[in-house]
Amino acid sequence: MTNGNDPRGISRRALLGVFAATAVTAAPTYSAAAGFLRGAGDIRRIRMYSGRTGERIDTIYWIDGEYVGEAIREISLFMRDWRNGQAVSIDTRAIDIMAATYNLLEVREPYMLLSGYRSPQTNAMLRSQSSGVARNSLHMRGQAADLRLDSRSVNQIARAALACHAGGVGRYSRSGFVHMDCGDVRAWGS
């Protein structure tokens, strides 16, 4: 995982500020994402399934101001490169963005994870097949995920992710998924 002063994107302290606010405003904002994450007690939870492996994860990964190491390891293993089984530690900022977006969407169904960590070999193979795969993809650093929800459109998911003001959000409407990462704040796609 990266340190809290990562010059490439939002700092850990700034992202944690997302979760520190208690007021929820009418318009979806960074503080709104924080309010949804505070929920019942001071916990953060992530729910996902993989159509590739058939695995599911539903875990509380943060309790009362602390990340739960075992839960982060489980998430990292779940988000491994399914093509070759390689895994890295998933950046907690990326997990926080996914969780905040999920809470803003007010859903119960788990995310469908299409792509989490990608090994350099997998990324190169995907780049050879598509122009939409970045050479230095944040997937290769454990800082990105491609996600889908059956009950929400790509635009709904992307708007919620953008409301977090915490990283990159890509809309892939033709393929039916949203890319979220903890890199620089930016948006693309339609």
Give the pLDDT confidence score for residue 37 in this predicted structure. 53
Other C-beta atoms closer than 10 Å to the C-beta of 111 total 26
CA distance 88 to 91: 9
Within 10 Å of residue 21's Cβ, how many Cβ atoms? 17
Q: What is the pTM of this model?
A: 0.79
Whether residue 44 contacts residue 62, with contact meaning beta carbons closer than 8 Å, is answered with yes
- In angstroms, rounded to a whole number, what is the distance separating the alpha carbons of residues 150 and 168? 22
Q: Strand 43-49 relative to strand 111-115: parallel, antiparallel, unpaired?
A: parallel
Task: Going residue by residue through the chain, which has 190 residues, state the pLDDT in tens, using 9 for 90 and above.
Answer: 444 444 344 445 444 444 443 223 233 333 444 454 555 458 999 999 998 999 999 999 999 889 999 999 999 999 999 999 999 999 999 999 999 999 999 999 999 999 999 999 999 999 889 877 888 899 999 999 999 999 999 999 999 999 999 999 999 999 999 999 999 999 999 8
Instruction: Return the bridge partners of 144, or none.
Output: 181
Reference 137, options 182, 171, 77; nearest CA is 182
Q: What is the pLDDT of residue 130?
A: 81
pLDDT of residue 48: 98
Q: How far apart are CA 176 and CA 128, in angstroms?
A: 21
**Per-residue pLDDT at 15:** 45
Using alpha carbons, list the distances in angstroms from residue 140 to 28, 30, 136, 173: 30, 27, 7, 23
For residues 93 and 12, give the distance between their C-alpha atoms in angstroms, rounded to a whole number: 7
* Residue 18: predicted pLDDT: 44
Burial of 98 (0-12, 13-18, 19+ CB in 10 A): buried
**SS3 annotation, 87-133:** CCCCCHHHHHHHHHHHHHHCCCCCEEEEECCCCHHHHHHHHHHCCCC
